[in-house]
Amino acid sequence: MPLFEFRCSSCQREFEALVRNGEQPHCPNCDATRLEKLLSAPARPAALAGALPIASACPPPQAGPCGPGCCRLPMG
């Protein structure tokens, strides 16, 4: 289901809506169906956006103790 951004022609509110095939979205503010589809940039996957920088590197020693699987723990 694609997520689209819209602006309501009646109340000018901007909102996002999941739109399935054949569905007509409506404004959550005034329930109008005259909507303008806005152009939005596609979202980048979290792995490419750098959302989890610590996942690819060992935490620094000052970060304190870490749990099972930590790269600072000796393998044994």
Instruction: Give the residue among 32, 29, 33, 1 at the shortest CA–CA distance from 15.
Output: 29
pTM for the predicted model, two decimal places: 0.53
Give the number of residues written for the chain: 76
Predicted pLDDT of residue 46: 57
- Per the structure, the count of domains in the chain is 1
Domain that holds residue 21: 1-40
Residue 62 lies inside a defined structural domain of this protein: no
Tokens 């103790």, residue?
A: 65
Residue 34 lies inside a defined structural domain of this protein: yes
The domain that contains 26 carries what CATH number?
A: 2.20.28
Predicted pLDDT of residue 22: 84
Contacts (Cβ under 8 Å, ≥6 apart) of 45: none
pLDDT tens, per residue, the chain with 76 residues: 578 999 999 999 999 999 888 889 999 999 999 999 998 777 666 555 555 554 555 667 777 766 666 666 555 5
